[in-house]
Homo-oligomer: A and B are copies of this chain.
Amino acid sequence: MTERWSSALLTDHYELTMVQAALHSGAAHRRCVFEMFARRLPETRRYGVVAGTGRFLDALEHFRFTPEVLEFLERNGIVNSSTLSFLADYRFSGNIWGYAEGDCFFPGSPILVVEGTFAECVVLETLALSIYNHDCAIASAASRMVNAAHGRPLIEMGSRRTHEEAAVAAARAAYLAGFNATSNLEAGRRYGIPTTGTSAHAFTLLHDSERHAFTAQLESLGTGTTLLVDTYEVMRAVHTAVELAGPDLGGVRLDSGDLEELAVKVRALLNEKGAAKTRIIVTGDLDEYSIQALAIAPVDGYGVGTALVTGSGVPTASLVYKLVARAQSDDPDAPLSPVAKRSVGKPSKGGRKWAVRRYDDNGVATSERVFVHEPELTPLERPLLVPLVRNGEVVGREPLQEARERHVRCVAELPAPARQMSRGEPAIPTVFEQRPAL
């Protein structure tokens, strides 16, 4: 990426034509509040995971209508010349608050609150939704897999099953939610996530025998490497692997067959051969349910692909970005009024929101409380919105590691059913409160 990279066209045509029409009416400069939230969670999710914040802040700083972008808009007659002038000078100058990355969310949680003029806020809609809808969906699935793995390490290896750039973001979201490593090298370069890998069947088939292949891998990559043992016959391959590598063989990977039964037999053989420390890594269309089912098997790590990068049945997080309040007139000092459409089946709650999580005396979360005024906090409440952008300046950037550590804390605070695999209601209820303003 160079300085000229622009995220400004990663948006919908109508965002810019709405700006044009609002510039015409004069309402473009009315102060507005937009909020991002999910109306509901899928029934396979007891909580959502906030992910994408770091990527959104990067994209926001590159949301610039460069000469190349303006030339495209002009040549195709997408907006008129006064709108082009407005866009040429575009810099988001407002304020953004959001749930901290890695925190959990529930139906109605205002995970992003964007305040500024209509024109400067509305054009961020598609970009913000694209990033958060993708990353939250992946992180929410990943967090369940982490719960199912009960402390055993998880490797993200789904790059080949999703768009090549979505793959990089998926690796980031999975790491944030507790995965230990990724196979995706670009995620390693861009985000510093540990990368790892084993070997493919093609490598074994390339050589004249499995023994030749194992020898090459061990000599080149060291005995700490992980050998793929299911190209031909698993038990024979494990025999060969230990014979060649000795007891310090790093690991063996099982990618097919009855993984539970195989893991038991392979563990026994490894132990018998003195390779008690050799790890057994299992892969092959795993999801949170098969990970949980393998809890009783002697497995040392899981590689997860398709189910992770497709959000395990929920590939998008259903987040929406809605205007919830606007100035009562074009006067810059006009007070804000709540607004909400009345469309059938898609209710929104008007008014700028504040949110807190409430805990019981044991520190277990009991509810998500959403206010239309800034509330006075009680001792057992934690405010959920943190500043991300202040007067156009990004102030909420943090190392990915911090979000990863926060996620561990936030999941641990939830009541135990939150970490079950079963379908059901959100782990805590969302309460829209009428408590008086500060």
**Does A150 make an interface contact (CB < 8 A)?**
no
Contact A160 B129 (CB under 8 A): yes
A232 within 8 A of partner (CB): yes
Task: Name which residue of chain B comes closest to A83, CB basis.
Answer: B220
Q: What is the minimal beta-carbon distance from A21 to any residue of chain B, in angstroms?
A: 4
From B14, B198, B201, B309, contact of A199 by CB (8 A):
B14
A182-190, A239-247, A264-272, A399-407: which lies at the interface: A182-190
Pick the contact of A163: B76, B134, B198, B200 (CB < 8 A). Answer: B134
Q: List 7 A-B contacts (CB under 8 A).
A: A11-B186, A17-B220, A18-B200, A21-B221, A72-B185, A232-B342, A255-B343
CA distance A2 to B202 in the complex (A): 34
Q: Which residues of B contact A376 (CB under 8 A)?
A: none
* Interface segment, one of A96-104, A119-127, A290-298, A422-430: A119-127
Instruction: Say yes or no: A17-B199 contact (C-beta < 8 A), given A12-B185, A165-B163.
Output: yes
Is the CB–CB distance between B316 and A30 below 8 Å?
no
Q: Which residue of B lies closest to A306 (CB)?
A: B316
With A162-B166, A203-B21, A306-B316 known to touch, is A195 a contact of B256 (CB < 8 Å)?
no
B162 contacts A130, CB within 8 Å? yes
Q: How far is the CA of A346 from the CA of B53 in the complex (A)?
A: 39
Residues of B within 8 A of A109 (CB): none
Interface check A167, CB cutoff 8 A = yes
B160 and A216 within 8 A (CB): no
Whether B257 contacts A167 by the Cβ 8 Å rule is no
Question: B residues within 8 A CB of A207?
Answer: 25, 27
A45 at the interface (CB under 8 A from B): no
Quick one: given A12-B183, A166-B163, are A232 and B341 in contact (CB under 8 Å)? yes
Interface string of A15-41 (1 = CB under 8 A from B): 111101111110100101010000000
Mask of A289-323 contacts with B, CB within 8 angstroms, 1/0: 00000000000000000100111000110000111
Contact B27 A185 (CB under 8 A): no
Q: Which residues of B contact A233 (CB under 8 A)?
A: 342
Contact (A256, B343) CB under 8 Å given A21-B220, A186-B10:
yes
Known: A10-B168, A10-B186, A13-B185. A231 touches B161 (CB 8 A): no
A72-B189, A206-B22, A221-B17 given as contacts; is B160 within 8 A of A126 (CB)? Answer: yes
Q: Given the complex of chains A and B, what is the CA–CA distance between A130 and B92 in angstroms? A: 34
- Contact across chains for A201 and B341 when beta carbons are under 8 A apart: yes
Q: Is residue A345 within 8 Å, beta carbon to beta carbon, of the partner chain?
A: yes
> Contact string, A202-239, partner B, CB cutoff 8 A, digits 1/0?
11111100001101110111000100001111000000
- CB–CB B130/A323 < 8 A: no
A185 touches B9 (CB 8 A): yes
- The docked-state distance in angstroms from the alpha carbon of A310 to that of B13 is 20
Whether A164 and B10, one on each chain, are in contact in the complex, defined by CB atoms closer than 8 angstroms, is yes
Interface residue? A143 (CB, 8 A): no
With beta carbons under 8 angstroms apart, the residue of B16, B133, B196, B326 that contacts A13 is B196
Q: Is the CB of B198 within 8 A of A14?
A: yes
Please tell me if A154 contacts chain B, counting CB pairs below 8 Å. Answer: no
Binary CB contact string for chain A from 156 to 175 against chain B (1 if under 8 A, 0 otherwise)? 01011111111111000000
A344 within 8 A of B: yes
A21 x B216 contact (CB < 8 A): yes
Asked, given contacts A17-B197, A164-B131, A345-B257, whether A27 binds B206 with beta carbons under 8 Å apart, the answer is: yes
Q: A34-B202, A134-B166 are in contact. Are A185 and B316 (CB under 8 A)?
A: no
Interface hub of A125, A161, A221, A258 (most chain B Cβ within 10 A): A161
Which B residue sits closest to A14, measured CB to CB?
B197
Answer whether residue A409 sits at the interface, using C-beta atoms and an 8 A cutoff: no
Does any Cβ of B come within 8 Å of A4's Cβ?
A: yes
Question: A130 and B163: CB pair below 8 A?
Answer: yes
A204-B10 Cα distance, complex, nearest whole Å: 23
Q: Is the CB of B165 within 8 A of A165?
A: yes
Query: Contact at A127–B164, with CB atoms within 8 Å?
Result: yes
